[in-house]
Amino acid sequence: MQSLREIRELLAARGLTPRHRFGQNFLHDHGKILELVDAANLQPGETVLEVGPGTGALTECLLEREVRVISVEIDRDLAGLIRDRFGDRITLVEGDCLAKGRRLSPEAVSALEGAEFKLVANLPYQAASPLMASLLMHHPECSGQWVTIQKEVVDRLVANPGTKAWGPLTAIVRAFASARRIALLPPGCFWPAPKVTSAMAELVPCASDSRPSDPDGFARFVTKLLSQRRKQIGGILGHDITTSLGIEAQTRAETLDAGQLLELRDHLPADHHLMQP
């Protein structure tokens, strides 16, 4: 597995330095990399999507588990480094992992070939939330996500209703999956050290029959509803609707869990419009 010295040397040999605009902070803590891969419980022959392979430290570990690796790298220079290091041992997709509409790019979708896969990645911070949500909402073939992201985002993923961290992202994710924090990573685990603490998270999809049937509609509903998080739900949706579902009209929107939000969305008339704040 790559040491910090080896990462520096790989970049220096090509005249490269970490690029802030791509969120490049290279994880070099071997123990943390292994902890992420172990949590994913990878089996030989499985397909793994890796976004932002960097210099390939995590990629090496994935290949040791004898899985099929699809790596997506937006930085052309690092893509060249990855191609030279791993050749046909991986499938490399050059470009942004996200397309318009903040969904997984067509190139990445094509490379996955419809196979069931796991996301195991040290995600660039700016792509993390939309990518994770897109996989949960639009790719039931993704059997789980094991990622390194900002601690602040992980705190939101595992938050409980009624807390400050509970919001649209949390509710949307939790309607599709269970969330667990695996580990904390101080800035010193990366080079260059970021200004924030990071964490590793696990997202495991719920049973298909319990997920929203209209993912985009549910996301829009939750985002709009929780923009009025401190308002009473009866004042937003109308007392008749909330009472019919056994929810007290005085309940604040921010205290509703993902299951209650899903039930509300499913029972709203098609022409219903949320009352404005």
pLDDT digits (tens, 9 = 90+) for 55-90: 999 999 999 999 999 999 999 999 999 999 999 999
Do 177 and 255 fall into the same domain? Answer: no
The mean pLDDT value for 104-127 works out to 96
| Domain end marker among 195, 210, 225 | 210
Parallel, antiparallel, or unpaired: how do β-strands 198-205 and 177-185 relate? antiparallel
Q: What percent of the chain has pLDDT over 70?
A: 97
pLDDT number for residue 262: 92
Do 162 and 63 fall into the same domain? Answer: yes
Domain of residue 77, residue span: 4-210
The mean pLDDT value for 107-133 works out to 96
Tens digit of pLDDT for each residue in 9-62? 999 999 999 998 898 999 999 999 999 999 999 999 999 999 999 999 999 999
Q: What percent of the chain has pLDDT over 90?
A: 79
Do 202 and 232 fall into the same domain? Answer: no
The alpha carbons of the chain give a radius of gyration, in whole angstroms, of 20
CATH number at residue 241: 1.10.8.100
Query: Does the residue 275 lie in any domain?
Result: no
Query: Does the residue 138 lie in any domain?
Result: yes
Sequence-ordered alpha helix ranges (H) in 13-88: 30-39, 57-64, 76-86
Do 48 and 103 fall into the same domain? Answer: yes
How many structural domains does the chain have? 2
Do 67 and 125 fall into the same domain? Answer: yes
Parallel, antiparallel, or unpaired: how do β-strands 142-150 and 198-205 relate? antiparallel
